[in-house]
Amino acid sequence: MFGNMDLNALFSEVNKKAKEIQEDSSNKEFTIKSGGGLIKLTVNGKGEAVDLSIDDSLLEDKDSLQILLLSCISDAYKMVEDSKKSMALEMLGGMNIFGQK
């Protein structure tokens, strides 16, 4: 079904697409809000936090602050992972893996 040249070309294309996805992912930013916007967390596509804003009203309520921060962080990780999955599916959908026309 696949010859050596076909597999080499396929692996090369997959590798190229994976690098493109990694670059695109690094450049994306996601902003997540918790507590009706009392906490805003911005992460990049790598899952790195790049900005955090906490409303002053939460500074006196440690328990609420902790709960909202955990919620925001969890949502951020989920958003980054969903984006990676979506980009991977998009990549596979755009490739002609089985030589179909």
Dump pLDDT digits (tens) for 7-62: 788 788 878 877 877 777 778 899 999 999 999 999 998 889 999 999 999 999 99
To the nearest 10°, report the CA torsion of 70, 65, 37, 40: -60
The top-level CATH class assigned to 21-93 is alpha beta
5/80: higher pLDDT: 80
The distance between the two most distant Cα atoms of the chain, rounded to a whole number of Å, is 67
pLDDT at position 101: 46
pLDDT at position 17: 78
Query: In the predicted model, is pLDDT for residue 75 greater than 80?
Result: yes
Task: Average the pLDDT over 69-83 and give the result.
Answer: 93
